[in-house]
Structures are given as C-alpha cells and as structure tokens.
Amino acid sequence: MQSDSDTVLRRLKTVEGHLKGVIRMVEEDAYCIDVIRQVQAIEAALNKVSSKILEDHLNSCVITAIQGNDKSERERVLKEITEVFEMSTKV
C-alpha cells in the first residue's frame, strides 16, 4: 500500500510535469484560453494535494495535540488551522 507522502509526491510530480507543459505552451504562444484551462487544471491538482496534506495533518498532529494535556499545544495547532483557512480565502 502506498504511503501518504508517496501519494503527495506522485501528485506533485504530475503537477510539475503539467506545469512544464504550460510553460512550453506559453513559450510557443499557444491560444490564451487553452493556457488558462491548463493553469486551472494545475490549480485544481494543487488544491487536491493541499487537501490531502491537511487531512493527514488533522488525523495525526492535530488529534494528538487535542488529546494531549498541553493546553498551549492545543491552542497552537488550532491557531495554525485557522491561519491556513484565513490564507485560503485571501487567494
């Protein structure tokens, strides 16, 4: 079975290849709408990667902190999650 980091790396390498293709499209002066569609596909793929990493984090680090006795650690991880969501709305 594939580990979570293997899944993330595989997806990132796919995005990397896709991005190289878009760079080539721009260098070759491809039709703008075609480039935009490919950029949107890359954004969607990156969002999936981000969601996977966040899911893994919630199921490991956050659960551990919430179940632990260290109040400052609980507050820290919850603040991190809040900051991630705040940043996602600024994009």
What is the residue-averaged pLDDT of the chain?
93
Residue-level pLDDT at 34: 98
Nearest CA to 4 among 64, 55, 42, 45? 55
**pLDDT tens, 1-10?**
567 899 999 9
Tell me the CATH number of domain 4-90, given options 1.20.58.1000, 1.10.579.10, 1.10.760.10, 3.40.30.120.
Answer: 1.20.58.1000
Query: Rounded mean pLDDT of 14-31?
Result: 98
Structural domain spans, the chain: 4-90
Query: Rounded mean pLDDT of 50-58?
Result: 92
Residue indicated by tokens 């996977």: 52
Q: CA-CA distances (angstroms) from residue 32 to 1, 51, 68? A: 40, 28, 52
Cα–Cα distance, 69 to 72 (Å, whole number): 9
Query: Rounded mean pLDDT of 59-86?
Result: 92
Q: Which residues of 54-82 are buried (b: 16+ CB within 10 A; e: fewer)?
A: eeeeeeeebeebeeeeeeeebeebeeeee
Residue-level pLDDT at 50: 93
pTM confidence score: 0.82
